[in-house]
Amino acid sequence: MRLGLLAIGVMIVLCSRAQNSPFTFLPILPPDSTGHYRLLIGGHFHGASTNTSGFPAATVLANIDAMNATGANVFLSTGDLFLEPDRDSLRYLDSFFSKLHLALFNAPGNHDLEGHAYHAAARMPVTLSMGADRIVLLDTERDDSRILGDQLEVLEQLAARTGGDQMKHVFIVSHRPIWAEEEPRYSKLFEGNTRSILGANYEKEVLPIIRRLARSTKVFWISGSMAGRAPASMFFQPHEPNITYIQCAVRDQLRDAVLVADVDPGGIRWSAMSLTGQEMAPVETYDAQWWSEHQGKAEEFHWRRIPYLIRKNLGYPAFWYGFGMAFILLIGSWRVVLLMRSGSAK
- Over the stretch 142-170, which tens digit does the pLDDT of each residue have? 999 999 999 999 999 999 985 556 889 99
Given this model, what pLDDT does residue 193 score? 77
Report whether pLDDT(119) > 90. no
**Distance between CA atoms of residues 213 and 160, nearest Å:** 8
Cβ-based burial of 143 (10 A; exposed 0-12, middle 13-18, buried ≥19): middle
Give the DSSP H/E element, type plus range, for residue 126: strand 126-130
Lowest mean pLDDT among 151-160, 191-200, 268-277, 331-340: 331-340
Given this model, what pLDDT does residue 128 score? 97
Residue 7 Cα to chain centre, angstroms: 21
Determine if the pTM surpasses 0.75.
Answer: yes
Helix H segments across the chain? 2-16, 58-61, 64-69, 85-92, 149-160, 178-181, 184-187, 207-213, 288-293, 306-314, 317-345
Report whether pLDDT(14) > 80. no
- Over the stretch 263-278, which tens digit does the pLDDT of each residue have? 998 899 999 999 999 9
Q: What is the mean pLDDT of residues 83-92?
A: 94
* Cβ–Cβ under 8 Å, residues 190 and 140: no
Given this model, what pLDDT does residue 168 score? 94
- Over the stretch 104-113, which tens digit does the pLDDT of each residue have? 999 999 999 9
Lowest mean pLDDT among 84-88, 207-211, 327-331: 327-331
Q: Are strands 37-42 and 257-264 parallel, antiparallel or unpaired?
A: antiparallel
Residue type, 173: V
Share of the chain above pLDDT 70, in %: 82
Nearest Cα residue to 10 out of 68, 92, 130: 92
Q: What is the mean pLDDT of residues 240-265?
A: 96
Residues contacting residue 313 through CB under 8 Å, at least 6 positions apart: 319
**Distance between CA atoms of residues 240 and 250, nearest Å:** 27
* Cβ–Cβ under 8 Å, residues 38 and 258: no
Given this model, what pLDDT does residue 122 score? 85
More confidently predicted of 323 and 11: 323
Report whether pLDDT(243) > 80. yes
207-215's contacts with Cβ under 8 Å and 24+ in sequence apart are 207/179, 209/152, 209/155, 209/156, 209/159, 210/155, 210/159, 210/172, 210/243, 211/240, 211/243, 212/159, 213/155, 213/158, 213/159, 213/170, 214/240, 214/241, 214/242, 214/243, 215/242
